[in-house]
Amino acid sequence: MLPGNTSRFLPALVTLMCVILMPVAGLAQWYGPAGNTFEYGQLMDGRPYDWAARTGNPAMMRISHYGDDLQMAILFDDQSGDFRRFIDPNRHASYTIRASGSKTVGDRQLFLGSFGFRRTEYHDWQWLSTRFYEEAHPFLKADSTTGLSRYNEIVFTGGYAIELRPGWNAGVSLYYMVDEGLKDVAPKPLSTHRDFRFWLGSTYRIGSVEIGAYGGIDDREEELRYTEYEGAILEETVLINFRGYDRPIVQRRDRETRITRGTAWHYGAHGSWLLPEGLRLHAQYRGSRSALDIEEDITRPRKEGYTSSRSHQVESDLIWNRGGTMLAAGYRFTSAERWAEFQPFDVLMTDASRRMHRFVTGWSLHVTNELELGLEFQIANSDQSEDDYYSDIAWAVDHSDFGFRTGFTGRFNNRMNLTLHYGYLNRNASNIRLEKGQTGRFFNEYRRRDIDFMLSGHSIHEGRLTAVIRLAGHHELHIGLLAQQQKGHESEQKRRIITSSVSYRVPIP
């Protein structure tokens, strides 16, 4: 009996080991507007609800894989408008070219990889070329010039998954990104950024139950450099160092370097139960811890700040799927907290927390073989607060969200799938608290706008079109277009987002 037990539980033990050994990546979205992230939307793209992809576990790559292929994609993203924070650019545009491929070797091994190049432009952006302006808050840096910043970014990804035994999968994924950013106007600060991620995971199926666990680490580094720019020798560079929302430190320097190093640990576990009568139950936990260490002056380095974040997410979904009809209900809970330390004096600068409960329901129906309809609703309630001890400012707000999305997918002559969606989300703010103590004179000029943004409600309208055109030889052309408009309730300011993509897919026999 012992060997039998061992063979049954060893995969689970190895799965657990992955968590212990590799406890990171996506921090909770702290400040961005709540988007139309409907949970069961992928159903309407012609694929079943992709639980495997939602887990983020690299061992699930084999399960979510839909066939070997080569793809070439071009993506364009454009955002502009005044409904934004101070730390956001007025206009943001990015262009991406990406080549990717996947190949199954034998029946058990899957290789995936991609290479991409992205050019991003930030127009009228007062900030330096940092990618850490969410996580590094409040230790942010700006300069006195507003202009165009450009980034050139190269991304490599790789993944490998293997079925070690029937029902037991393991997988690893790698992500490597480097970029260089340059602000076009004097003093032309330069930034270099490097991200490396490694994830490891395992899953095991016991009868109708599939469990999995994973862990991962992020290692990131960024260097911002101000040098004495020859073309602007007669201009004075004014650097603004923030340590909170208020009281920025104004420095008149030609040369400055800021080095930011970050580490994040991710871990998670999930389970999926196939129940009778077409029912399936999913549950998962995701956690992360991350830390950022900020130093200034490369010749005489001195510590500036340290930030620490933690987040926990619990999700569960119950899905019923039978005879072309799908009904789903889900609950999500997110909890995140973070704090920032001014290292030279070992004092706490900010303390922030956020909790969110969200309920989602979805329904879809195959009216005919050529037509599928779908409808989803979500309600959410969240509370968010931050104490900025440095600026003597405290704020808190509760948000309640309501949203829906509806649309259809039609199939035409086996040559084309066309999907049209419309989504709406409304966020109301309540229990608003803003306490100001010994604030300085800059409060109204800079980051006051960021606080106002977070304390406001807004609405989002979204339209989406997806077309899949099947060509000869099973080649496919995918076209996607998303248009979104955000509007603040109080300010009535708007922001427009357009995302479009074209990809060409060649299946590998």
Partner 1 sequence: MKPCNDTNKNMVRTNLLPWRRTVVWLLPALIVLVPVLWIGCDDVVSQRSKPAFKERESTVVLQIVDESGTMEILHGHSGVDSARVQLRSNVHGTEHVYYSDGNGRVEVTGMLSDRYFLSISRPLQPSEVEQLSDKADENYSLVNRSMSSVEIRPGQDEPIVVPLELIFEGAPIVFSEIYASGPPGAGLYFFDRFIEFFNQTDSTLYLDGLVVARVYASAYLGLNFIDDPEFIHSKNVWKFPGTGTDYPIEPGEFIICVVDAIDHTINAPASFDHRGADFEFYKPDAPDIDNPNVPNMIMIYQDSGIDWLIGGQADALVLARTDTDNLRWRDDRIIIPYDDIIDGVEYLLNPTDLDRKKLNPRIDAGATGGINFYTGRSMERKVSVSPDGVKRLQNTNNSSVDFRINDRPTPQYHPDFE
Which three-class secondary structure string do you get for 44-100?
Answer: HHCCCCCHHHHHCCHHHHHHHCCCCEEEEEEEEEEEEECCCCCCCCCEEEEEEEEEE
Q: Which of 158, 76, 154 is nearest to 116 (CA)?
A: 154
* Residue placing its CB nearer to partner 1 in the complex, 121 or 293: 293
Q: Min. distance of Cβ 236 from partner 1 in angstroms? A: 5
Nearer to partner 1, 315 or 392 (CB): 392
Give burial (CB, 10 Å; 0-12/13-18/19+) of 405. Answer: buried
Closest distance to partner 1 from the beta carbon of 315 (Å)? 26
Taking the alpha carbons at both ends of the chain, their separation in whole angstroms is 44
**Identity of the residue numbered 435:** E
Smallest distance, Å, CB 382 to partner 1? 23
Q: Which is nearer to partner 1, 150 or 289 (by Cβ)?
A: 289
Least distance to partner 1, CB of residue 205, Å: 16
Sorted by sequence, the CB contacts under 8 Å of residue 456 that are 6+ apart come out as 429, 488, 489, 490, 491
Tokens encoding 207 = 């009868």
DSSP 487-508: EETTT--EEEEEEEEEEEEEE-
CB nearer to partner 1: pick between 4 and 207: 4
Q: At closest approach, how far in Å is the CB of 176 from partner 1?
A: 11
Q: Which is nearer to partner 1, 51 or 133 (CB)?
A: 133
Separation CA 396–CA 85 (nearest Å): 17
By beta-carbon proximity to partner 1, the closer residue of 122 and 342 is 342
Q: What is the DSSP letter of 243?
A: S
Q: Between 315 and 387, whose beta carbon lies closer to partner 1?
A: 387
Q: How far is the CB of 110 from partner 1 (least distance, A)?
A: 17
For residues 217 and 451, which CB has a smaller minimum distance to partner 1 in the complex? Answer: 217
Q: Which is nearer to partner 1, 163 or 462 (CB)?
A: 163
Nearby residues of 102 by Cβ (< 8 Å), 6 or more positions away: 65, 68, 69, 110, 111, 112, 113, 508
Tell me the closest approach of the beta carbon of residue 389 to partner 1, in angstroms: 4
Q: Which positions lie near partner 1, rule CB under 8 A? A: 3-4, 6-7, 10, 14, 17, 21-22, 164-165, 170, 196, 198, 217, 219, 221, 233-234, 236-237, 247, 249-250, 252-254, 261-263, 289, 291-293, 306, 308, 339, 341-342, 344-349, 351, 389-390, 392, 438
Q: How far is the CB of 250 from partner 1 (least distance, A)?
A: 7
Question: Do residues 49 and 319 lie in contact, with contact meaning Cβ atoms separated by under 8 Å?
Answer: yes
For the CB of residue 424, give the shortest distance to partner 1 in the complex, in Å: 40
Query: By C-beta, is 42 or 439 nearer to partner 1?
Result: 439
Picking from 272, 265, 309, the residue whose alpha carbon sits closest to that of residue 19 is 265
Q: Give me the residues paired with residue 375 across strands.
A: 363, 406
Q: Whole-number minimum distance, CB 500 to partner 1, in Å?
A: 36
The Cα 486–Cα 129 span in angstroms is 25
Give the C-alpha separation, 52 to 316, whole Å: 13
Cis peptide before 344 (omega within 30 of 0): no
- Rounded CA separation 143/127 (Å): 7
Q: Which is nearer to partner 1, 7 or 430 (CB)?
A: 7
Q: Tell me the residue type at 341.
A: E
For partner 1, the closer of residues 392 and 401 by Cβ is 392
DSSP string covering 94-142: EEEEEEEEEEEETTTEEEEEEEEEEEEEEEEEEE-S-S-TTTSTTS-EE
**What one-character DSSP code corresponds to residue 217?**
E
Min. distance of Cβ 180 from partner 1 in angstroms?
19
Closest approach of Cβ 423 to partner 1, in Å?
A: 38
